Structure 1
Amino acid sequence: MRYLYSIFTLFTISSVVQAQDASLLAGAMRADTDAGNTSFAVNVGYTQHLHNYFSVSADYLNEGHPKLHHRDGLGAQLWAHTAVPQRGWSFGAGFGPYYYFDTTTGNGSEGDYRNEHGWGQLMSVNAIYHLHSRAYVEARLSHTHGITSHDSSMLMVGMGYELGSVPRSIRLENADRGDNLVMLLAGRSIVNSFKSETSTSTGLEYRRTFTPNVEGSVILMNEGKVDAAERKGVSAQVWLLRPFTERTVLEMGFGAYAMLDQLDRTDPHAARENHVAPLASIGMRYRIDDHWRGQLTWSRVITNYARDSDVFLLGAGYAF
């Protein structure tokens, strides 16, 4: 829990400073326990500059699909780097906590899987070439360490964009204190198994804005039917907000999900199971006008009975 608090603290610090970057990187990974076990790697990052030589980042890292492992995770890194020029090179090194989700096997075959979770460390070095525009090109070498199944190394390249600072008056318009927001959402849920079964998901969400950077939410969610299983429930989350543009807000949420799960609908005598699971979410909201909002959210359901899922929801809502 101390590492989760660290991620939450770093994102809170980033909500009160201005300079910010967004980046998308892709490349290759190698599992350190097996020189021949390679796959792809993808990193989606958000960086806040705290000082001329220090930054913090929040990263979603997908470590690909090496043999009998599908692993991804959420990380936060503190970076030390050279001064950032208007055009030219900068170099940096980052280190921080990494919470991973690993779909792996119990008996050596893909037919029997389990979802493992845990903490490790994420460390990176990068080289960035800054263009005259706000865009830049980045090459990054990252390494995950301290994970039970295997450590991994990833070499990725991609693009980033330096986002302009947003005036406080615009931040207040995006999230007014006391706002209420009701949203109707629909999308897809994906079970974190080797087959990645999918289903249609729906949600009805209520949000309350406490400050321009903090919200609370309650959502009624139905993850649909996947093969013989069906799951639905209600979740509550605390959200940290950071405006990207005059109309767009980035969100990160943490909370709990109380659910009713029927794992075998083919058996008329099968009981429905009650569970409570942690929930972590990343979202983007767009202010259409004074009242209407568009919303895109990805949530990871973190279970203790090998039923993790990804829930992608897209919809619209009314603020009042």
Structure 2
Amino acid sequence: MSKKKNEAICSFALACTFLCWHSLALAEDVTTLPPLAPAPDNSYVSAALGNGILYGTSLDTQKPMRWRAAEIRFGPAIDLFGLAAGGHLPAGGSTRLDYVYYNEGHPDNNHRDGYAAQMVYRQKLHPDFDLELGAGPYFSMNRTTVNGTEIDDRRLGGLFSVALLARLDQLSPGLSIRLAYNHVLTPGAPSSDAFLVGIGKELGATHVNAPDAGGDHGLWLAALGGFAQTNQSGPGKRLSYALEAKKYYGPWAASVSAIEEGDDGVRVNRHGIAAEGWYVQPITEHWDISAGAGPYLAVNQRDSGNWKVNGLISLQVGHDLGKGFRGFADFGRVVTFRNKNDADLMTIGIMKRFDM
């Protein structure tokens, strides 16, 4: 089973678990939790799987995704340009900003996935159905072979989405089945179309545990461990670990990490320092999901041995353990901007709060 297929399936399974567990979590005893803070009205999280095709630039025929397309999205309601407050939206209309991880499956000689930010317009069609339209920039990475050389081709394009949400409020308020169509348009690279089916949850104003709801912004120190995988064929997984300091500011956070990616024996033996900004969205009283990105200054002993500025993009699911401890799972993508030596970092960790 391929590396990216594992990533897509594991990410989808985790997201679905958290969504389905939401209703049960509301019944838990929360008397020992820190102060609670409300989630943004109509914030949303979903996960979906499906199938589609790649076609166009550099492809002589359509390439199927082999039923491995996957998407995870989450984001808060945002009144874009004050349209809702000014009464400029139709009744039942709203806008939202979504953060999206999208895996476009595994067409022949293409293993493309990436991250998007979409403005989403939602319109209520019927008490049981909503329609969503989304569009925004999509930063993708495609492991592919060109003229006999394997590269990790990075491109900036657009992700356009249409989704029908079939509401299941009778089972849990805000729960829905998501039927979606995604179109990727990327200059100089193949386009793609995919249909996906998944489950989503509109969180509403559910009260959740924010990491620093009290407003005193304690410092969180974390230790992470897991494995890294170079995004080119050949090198296998190797042990990776990191130490991190993080501060939360409401739905935002900032972190600094010392990262050791390990040695794949062929292309990457890299370590360095990363700084990331985060958006954090609570899911339940105990769970949150967050997206982070920032510069990563690192040295690769199997390349030039010089310090270079890379990028780090992260997707993280966290769980409040009580008494100032949090556990989390983190999926990070190291982007070198040189079409080689990119890597995935898949780790779990624990963090402890220290009041300041």
Structures share fold, TM-score greater than 0.5: yes
Q: TM-score range by the shorter chain?
A: 0.7 to 0.9
Long gaps (5+) in structure 2: 1-37, 79-83, 85-91
User: How do 1:1-320 and structure 2 match up within 5 A?
Assistant: 17-33=40-56, 34-39=60-65, 40-50=68-78, 52-54=92-94, 55-83=96-124, 88-108=128-148, 112-131=149-168, 132=170, 133=172, 134-167=174-207, 170-171=209-210, 173=212, 176-195=215-234, 197-209=236-248, 211-228=249-266, 229-263=268-302, 272-305=305-338, 306-320=340-354
Kindly report the root-mean-square deviation, in angstroms, between the aligned alpha carbons of the 2 structures: 2.3
Assess if the C-alpha contact under 8 Å between 2:55 and 2:62 holds in 1. no
Long gaps (5+) in structure 1: 1-14, 265-270
How far does residue 194 in structure 1 lie from its aligned partner after superposition? 3.6
1:82 alignment partner, SS class: strand
In the alignment, the residues of structure 2 paired with residue 235 and residue 79 of structure 1 have an alpha-carbon distance, to the nearest angstrom, of 30
- CA deviations 1:77-109 (Å, max 9, x no partner) are 222232276x5122222211111111122324x
- CA deviations 1:264-284 (Å, max 9, x no partner) are 7xxxxxx62322101111212
In the alignment, the residues of structure 2 paired with residue 240 and residue 98 of structure 1 have an alpha-carbon distance, to the nearest angstrom, of 17
How far does residue 249 in structure 1 lie from its aligned partner after superposition? 2.5
In the alignment, the residues of structure 2 paired with residue 172 and residue 189 of structure 1 have an alpha-carbon distance, to the nearest angstrom, of 28
In the alignment, the residues of structure 1 paired with residue 296 and residue 324 of structure 2 have an alpha-carbon distance, to the nearest angstrom, of 28
So what's the TM-score if we normalise by structure 1? 0.84
- CA deviations 1:241-270 (Å, max 9, x no partner) are 222222223222121111121217xxxxxx
In the alignment, the residues of structure 2 paired with residue 17 and residue 164 of structure 1 have an alpha-carbon distance, to the nearest angstrom, of 7
Structure 2 match to 1:8: none
Assess if the C-alpha contact under 8 Å between 1:199 and 1:224 holds in 2. yes
Letter in 2 for 1:192: N
Deviates more, 1:73-82 or 1:217-226: 73-82
Moved over 6 A (4+): none
So what's the TM-score if we normalise by structure 2? 0.76
Query: Could you say if the C-alpha distance between residues 122 and 314 of structure 1 is closer, same or farther in structure 2, counting changes exceeding 3 Å?
Result: same
Aligned length: 294
Assess if the C-alpha contact under 8 Å between 1:63 and 1:72 holds in 2. yes
In the alignment, the residues of structure 2 paired with residue 242 and residue 92 of structure 1 have an alpha-carbon distance, to the nearest angstrom, of 20
In the alignment, the residues of structure 1 paired with residue 278 and residue 77 of structure 2 have an alpha-carbon distance, to the nearest angstrom, of 21
How far does residue 16 in structure 1 lie from its aligned partner after superposition? 7.9
Query: Could you say if the C-alpha distance between residues 26 and 164 of structure 1 is closer, same or farther in structure 2, counting changes exceeding 3 Å?
Result: same
2:193 alignment partner, SS class: strand
Assess if the C-alpha contact under 8 Å between 1:206 and 1:217 holds in 2. yes
- CA deviations 1:49-100 (Å, max 9, x no partner) are 3464133322111011212211111112222232276x51222222111111
Query: Could you say if the C-alpha distance between residues 208 and 221 of structure 1 is closer, same or farther in structure 2, counting changes exceeding 3 Å?
Result: same
